[in-house]
Amino acid sequence: MGIRDLLAEVASTYDRTAGSRREVKGQQVLRGVATRTDLVLPPGFKAEGHGGQTTPAATPWIGVFDTRGMQDPKKGLYLAYIFSADLKNVTLTLQQGITWLEEPLGKGRAREEHLRHHAARLRRAVKRRENVGWVDEPDLRDSATRPRAYEAASVIAKVYDTAKLPGDLALLEDLYVGVQSLRRAEEFDRVWWASGENDAFQLAYALKAHGVQEEVQPRDFDPLAEFRPKDSGDYTAEIRARQQVKQRNHEKLVDDFGRYVVGRGFTPITLRQHPKDLVLRQQEPVEGQVGEWLVEAKIVRHGNPTVAVREALGQLFEYRHFLYSKQSAPLLLGLFSEEIGVYSSYLEDHGVASVWRSGDGWDGSARARGWGMTTS
């Protein structure tokens, strides 16, 4: 017995239509993976089978986790043997966690685009092209959201025919390639996330239907229900042998302004809006008026607003072009941590309003004042 026999047993016994009860044979095999002693795994790794809980999994899988590192498949990186829905193939894949992205991006195409975008980064780090016989993504042959997310989350993959599985030695050799790739990807991932380059979720603009507007909520709807800015507290990021302390001033700026504009008749929304910083909608919509305001927040550093204004203008135009292709164009608003001086009129000339902190309140351009977004 070994990995080959386990994979063959799952392929021959798993039956999605039989349910997920304990007495179902395929479910028994998967649930027993964690206690098996016949599996030869790399030192420090353990295996767990997953066939679904209340609902049988469309694509059952066996996770191979580093006991010294990340063991939660909801986030982070891990290895897995994922079966296709028809059980004709099983793929050893280096996976990104998918569940934690449900809140900011939902379960559909936005999540898949983000996963593919980051997988491309990780693929360069693990040097996939050096591994002959490996591909980028498996074909799991199921249209449900989770299998599609597994496909998009794959960094590298080795696909096997379950009717012609290689021997345990060949499988173990491939598993060690997976472990080596996991190590490289983890190092790259730690440095990239800590670097601050990922200030917003990176999205590939092949996504055409991202900005589908939700229906206006009834009057008694909580205006802060979909406003969930990230933690604004300082945090410590480990980068190799040194530490960096980063301040999330950006998130605090969004948080403070979002809570403020509620009192001015606006509903702030951050939930499932990435890569947008903030979206505003009127609590009492006016007939014939634009659906929403697209807000880009920037920190003015060292009293010089030049870079902040350039970045805000570029991102607002970019997001409007790519994310609103199938809905009404939004009004544009730049949100700044301090006054931007002559750049206020510059932005107005380009159709962009601006708001900035002013003492204990908020000041802004003529257009922003006309919208009732300032305290002066």
Range(s) of the domain holding residue 142? 3-195
Number of domains in the chain: 2
pLDDT at 324: 86
pLDDT at residue 291 tops 80:
no
Are residue 358 and residue 254 in the same domain, yes or no?
yes
Whether 131 maps to a domain, the answer reads: yes
Q: Match 């420090």 to its residue by tokens.
A: 44
Residues 25 and 143 in one domain: yes
Same domain assignment for residues 190 and 276: no
Q: Is residue 220 part of a domain?
A: no
174 and 264 belong to one structural domain: no
DSSP-assigned letter for residue 224: T
Predicted confidence at residue 9, as pLDDT, reads 97
What is the structure's pLDDT at 328? 86
Each residue of 216-233: pLDDT tens digit?
Answer: 344 444 555 555 555 555
| Stretch (H or E) spanning 115 | helix 109-126
Instruction: Give the pLDDT mean for 8-16.
Output: 97
Closest CA to 207 of 158, 265, 269, 276: 276
Closest CA to 137 of 121, 158, 122: 158
- Cα 366 to Cα 43, 296, 363, distances in angstroms: 65, 18, 10
CB 275 within 8 A of CB 203: yes
**67-71, 137-141, 175-179: the lowest-pLDDT one:** 67-71
Taking residues 193-216, report their average pLDDT. 43
Give domain status of residue 191, yes or no. Answer: yes
Residue with tokens 């890569």: 275
Per-residue pLDDT at 323: 86
If we measure between CA atoms, which residue out of 354, 339, 333 comes closest to residue 276? 333
Instruction: Give the range among 14-28, 229-243, 281-295, 320-334 with minimum mean pLDDT.
Output: 229-243
What is the pLDDT confidence band of residue 188, given thresholds at 50, 70 and 90?
A: confident
CA angle 53/56/59 to nearest 5° reads: 115
Among 145, 173, 195, residue at a domain's last position:
195
Whether residue 207 has pLDDT greater than 70:
no
pLDDT number for residue 239: 37
Residues 15, 164, single domain; the answer is yes
Alpha carbon 47 to chain centroid, angstroms: 25
Q: Whole-number mean pLDDT of the chain?
A: 84
CA 348 to chain centre: 33
pLDDT given for residue 236 in this prediction: 45
Does residue 133 carry a pLDDT above 50? yes
pLDDT in tens, 147-162: 999 999 999 999 999 9
Q: Examine the pLDDT at 203 and tell me if it is beyond 50.
A: no
325: in domain: yes
Chain segment 344-360, per-residue pLDDT in tens: 999 999 999 999 999 88
DSSP string, 254-323: HHHHHHHHHTTTEEEE-TT-TT-SEEEEESSPPTTS-S-EEEEEE--BTTB-HHHHHHHHHHHHHHHHHH
The pLDDT value recorded for residue 86 is 97
The one-character DSSP state at 135 is B
- Give 106 or 274, the one with higher predicted confidence: 106
**Percentage of the chain with pLDDT > 90?**
57
Q: Are strands 293-298 and 331-336 parallel, antiparallel or unpaired?
A: parallel
Identify whether 152 is part of a domain.
Answer: yes
Phi and psi angles of residue 71, each rounded to the nearest 5 degrees, phi first: -120, 10
Query: Can you tell me the distance from the alpha carbon of 127 to that of 129, in angstroms, rounded to the nearest whole number?
Result: 6
Count CB-CB contacts under 10 A for residue 209.
12
Terminal C-alpha separation, the chain: 76
Check residue 240 and give its pLDDT.
41
What integer pLDDT is reported at residue 201 of this predicted model?
A: 45
- Residues 9 and 130 grouped into a single domain: yes
